[in-house]
C-alpha cells in the first residue's frame, strides 16, 4: 500500500504484500514509485533515505538504496511509536507517513544504535495531550553544542519542518499548523547533528 498524500515527485509505502508490522532489527519491504496519480512529471533522484522519528528517542537515518523495491531494517526499540518519512538524494520528500507505527517486540536488538554520548535534551513546557491548530508548542533545549535545529514531523504532511535557531538561542515557540487529529514529533539536533 503506497502512502497517498499531496502532489509529490514520488510516493512510498510498505510493499503491498507486507503488513506494516515493525520490529527491531527485522527487515521490512518498502516500495517507491513516481506519483503519477497527482501528475508528477519530474523524476525523483535515487538513492532514497528513510528517517524514523521515535517518540522519546533518537531518530535514525538509514540509506534504503535506489529502488523501486527497497528493504529497511528498523533500528528503533520495541514499544516505541515511530513516524516515518522518505527523501530522495536531493532532499525531495515523498511525504510523511499517514500514521504513527508502534514497534513490536523482536528476538534481536543487535542492530539498535548505542545511546548517544551527549547531554543534549529537549523539554516541552506546559503542553501535554492535544495540541490544537494554532496552539504554541514551546520547546526548551539544553546541552549539546549550539546552534540547534528543531525538526517537526507531522503525520500525512508533505514534508518535515526544520527551524534552525540562532547561536545564542535555546528556546523555540512553534505555532502548530497541524490539522486536527494529526500526530507530530519534535526532534532536536545540535551542531554535531545529534537528534533527540
Residues 29/21, Cβ–Cβ less than 8 Å: no
Q: What is the DSSP letter of 68?
A: S
pLDDT at 102: 95
pLDDT band at 18 (very low <50, low <70, confident <90, very high): low
The H or E element spanning position 188 is: strand 184-189
Average of per-residue pLDDT across 88-92: 92
> Chain centroid to CA 192: how far?
19
pLDDT value of position 3: 43
pTM of the complete model: 0.88
Give the tens place of pLDDT for each residue, 142-192.
999 999 999 999 999 989 999 999 999 999 999 998 888 899 999 999 988
Residue ranges of domains in the chain = 10-102, 121-189
Decide yes or no: CATH 2.60.40.10 for domain 10-102. yes
Give me 34's grid cell: 513516481
pLDDT digits (tens, 9 = 90+) for 32-81: 988 766 666 678 899 999 999 999 888 999 999 998 899 999 999 999 99
Distances (CA, A) of 67 to 52, 72, 107, 170: 18, 12, 28, 39
Per-residue pLDDT reduced to its tens digit, 93-131: 999 999 999 999 988 999 999 887 778 999 998 887 888
Spatial CA neighbour of 8 closest among 97, 92, 100: 92
Q: Which positions ≥6 away from 41 have C-beta within 8 Å?
A: none
Cis peptide upstream of residue 47 (ω within 30 degrees of 0): yes
**Nearest alpha carbon to residue 156 among 185, 183, 137:** 183
For residue 95, the tally of other CB atoms under 10 A from its CB is: 26
Amino acid at each position: 500500500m503506497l502512502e497517498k498524500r499531496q502532489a509529490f515527485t514520488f510516493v512510498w509505502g510498505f510493499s503491498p504484500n507486507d503488513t506494516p508490522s515493525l520490529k527491531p532489527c527485522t527487515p521490512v519491504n518498502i516500495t517507491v514509485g513516481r506519483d503519477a496519480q497527482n501528475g508528477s512529471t519530474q523524476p525523483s533522484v535515487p538513492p532514497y533515505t528513510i528517517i524514523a522519528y521515535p517518540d522519546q528517542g533518537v531518530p535514525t537515518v538509514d540509506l534504503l538504496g535506489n529502488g523501486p523495491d527497497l528493504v529497511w531494517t528498523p533500528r528503533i526499540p520495541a514499544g516505541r511509536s515511530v513516524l516515518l518519512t522518505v527523501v530522495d538524494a536531493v532532499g525531495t520528500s515523498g511525504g510523511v507517513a499517514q500514521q504513527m507505527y508502534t514497534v513490536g517486540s523482536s528476538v534481536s536488538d543487535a542492530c539498535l544504535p548505542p545511546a548517544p554520548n551527549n547531554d543534549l535534551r529537549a523539554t516541552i513546557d506546559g503542553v501535554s495531550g492535544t495540541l490544537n491548530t494554532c496552539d504554541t508548542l514551546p520547546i526548551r533545549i539544553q546541552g549539546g553544542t549550539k546552534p540547534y535545529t528543531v525538526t517537526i514531523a507531522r503525520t500525512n504532511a508533505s514534508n518535515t519542518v526544520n527551524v534552525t535557531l540562532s547561536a545564542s538561542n535555546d528556546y523555540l515557540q512553534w505555532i502548530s499548523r497541524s490539522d486536527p487529529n494529526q500526530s507530530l514529533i519534535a526532534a532536536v539536533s545540535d551542531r554535531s547533528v545529534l537528534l533527540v
